Amino acid sequence: MRNSGLTDELVVCVRKPCRYAGIDGVAPFLKASFEFAYGSAKQGSESVALAEGRIGGVQAISGTGALRLGGELLARFRGQGSAIYLPGPSWANHVPIFKDSGLEVKSYTYYDPSTCGLNLPGMLADVAAAPAGSVFLLHACAHNPTGVDPTPEQWVEISKAMKAKSHVAFFDSAYQGFASGDAEKDARAVRQFVDDGHHILLAQSYSKNFGLYGERVGALSAVTASPQETAAVVSQMKILVRRNSNHA
List residues with catalytic annotation: 91, 172, 208
Phi, psi at 101, each rounded to 5°? -80, -15
Phi, psi at 247, each rounded to 5°? -100, 0
DSSP reduced 3-state for 113? coil
For residue 176, what pLDDT is reported?
93
Q: Are 145 and 91 in contact (CB under 8 A)?
A: yes
The tens digit of pLDDT for each residue in 26-79 reads 899 999 999 999 998 877 788 999 999 999 999 999 899 999 999 999 999 999
Q: Is the pLDDT of residue 204 over 70?
A: yes
| CA separation for the pair 210, 216 (Å, rounded) | 11
Per-residue pLDDT band for 7 (boundaries 50, 70, 90) equals low
| CA separation for the pair 157, 122 (Å, rounded) | 13
Q: Are 224 and 191 in contact (CB under 8 A)?
A: no
Query: What number of other Cβ atoms are within 10 A of residue 101's Cβ?
Result: 20
The tens digit of pLDDT for each residue in 76-132 reads 999 999 999 999 999 999 999 999 999 999 999 999 999 999 999 999 999 999 999
Query: Distance between the two ends of the chain, CA-based, in angstroms?
Result: 33
Query: What number of other Cβ atoms are within 10 A of residue 41's Cβ?
Result: 11
| CA separation for the pair 41, 246 (Å, rounded) | 31
pLDDT > 70: what percent of the chain?
90
Domains and CATH numbers, the chain: 4-244 (3.40.640.10)
